[in-house]
Amino acid sequence: MKLFGFLPLRAIDILDIIVVAILLYEFFKFVKGTKATPILVGLCMFFLISFVARWLDLKALSWIMRSILAVWVVAFVIVFQPEIRNALARIGRQRPFRFFLRVEESPVIDEIIDAVRKMSEEKTGALILLPKSIGLKDIIDTGIRINAVVDSSLLRTIFFPDTPLHDGAVVIKGDTVVAAGCVLPLSENPSLSGRYGLRHRAALGIAEQSDAVCIVISEETGTISLAYKSKLVTRVDVNILKRSLETILKE
């Protein structure tokens, strides 16, 4: 059929539009809340100016924009290198690809588990947050930006008693410690009354409001707890914690 006198619209064209829309939606959702967002807006502005210049037949401006956009593919790869790398890694971790490919375990989990084990033995209170698909930029903005590679020693240093950031939560995204000293919303669940402290309430609170995973270490007993999907599991063995993180983060 013809749509408003234009070229015939075929079923395959509709499928093409839907696929492109889904890909664009997933891409924008992926970069939302990251440092790539303002850069992406800038690139879109370049394309818009280039389109307007050609439409108005502004030859000088069109030539300048063509010169700039000639290298946009290379610039795109350079600027979005971390996001592209994380996206490809995420695709590779999907079940259909893991069936054919042996994907190496992430050293990030090993670093987290090592830090959790040692802090549990030392009875060092800690709150470690691992976001998934739902962005937590508002939470990250309440803390201090770190932007360092995940390392067991770094995590233990952050939560060392009486340090400025030890009371808040650490946010880990991918292989990066994004921020520390972050403030989490407290759960209003009445079942926690009198049984748990602020760290456990904060862990359950963020688990009720997002799909993030939150690890808690009690300062009084050194016990490990895991909050996920509005549930708080206490007295978690460190080996079970590792297997749980591997499963949850691959979902």
pLDDT digits (tens, 9 = 90+) for 42-95: 777 877 887 888 888 888 877 777 776 666 667 666 666 665 666 665 555 555
Q: How many Å apart are CA 8 and CA 19, to the nearest integer?
A: 19
Q: How confident is the model at residue 3 (pLDDT cuts 50, 70, 90)?
A: very low
pLDDT attached to residue 111: 94
| Phi, psi (degrees; rounded to nearest 5) at 130 | -120, 100
Least Cα distance to 170 among 194, 219, 193, 136 occurs for 136
What confidence score (pLDDT) does residue 122 get?
94
For residue 24, what pLDDT band results from cuts at 50, 70 and 90?
confident
Token representation of residue 10:
């075929």
- Output the pLDDT for position 157: 95
CB 148 within 8 A of CB 154: yes
- The predicted pLDDT at position 218 comes to 93
Indicate the pLDDT class of residue 13, thresholds 50, 70 and 90.
Answer: confident
Q: Is the pLDDT confidence value at 130 over 50?
A: yes
Exposed / middle / buried, residue 160 (Cβ in 10 Å: 0-12, 13-18, 19+): middle
Give pLDDT, residue 77.
66
Mean pLDDT to the nearest integer, 131-144: 89
For residue 140, the model assigns a pLDDT of 93
Which residue would you say has higher pLDDT here, 243 or 71? 243
Mean of per-residue pLDDT scores for the chain: 81
184-222: pLDDT as tens digits: 999 888 777 667 888 999 999 999 988 899 999 999 999
Output the pLDDT for position 72: 66
Tell me the average pLDDT across 149-160: 94
Quick check: 144 pLDDT over 90?
yes
Q: For residue 104, what pLDDT band results from cuts at 50, 70 and 90?
A: very low
Strand 213-217 vs strand 126-130: parallel, antiparallel, or unpaired? antiparallel
What is the CATH code for 107-249?
A: 3.40.1700.10
Query: 36-55 vs 72-79: helix axis angle to the nearest 10?
Result: 170
Place of tokens 């895991």: 226
pLDDT of residue 69: 66
Output the pLDDT for position 17: 86
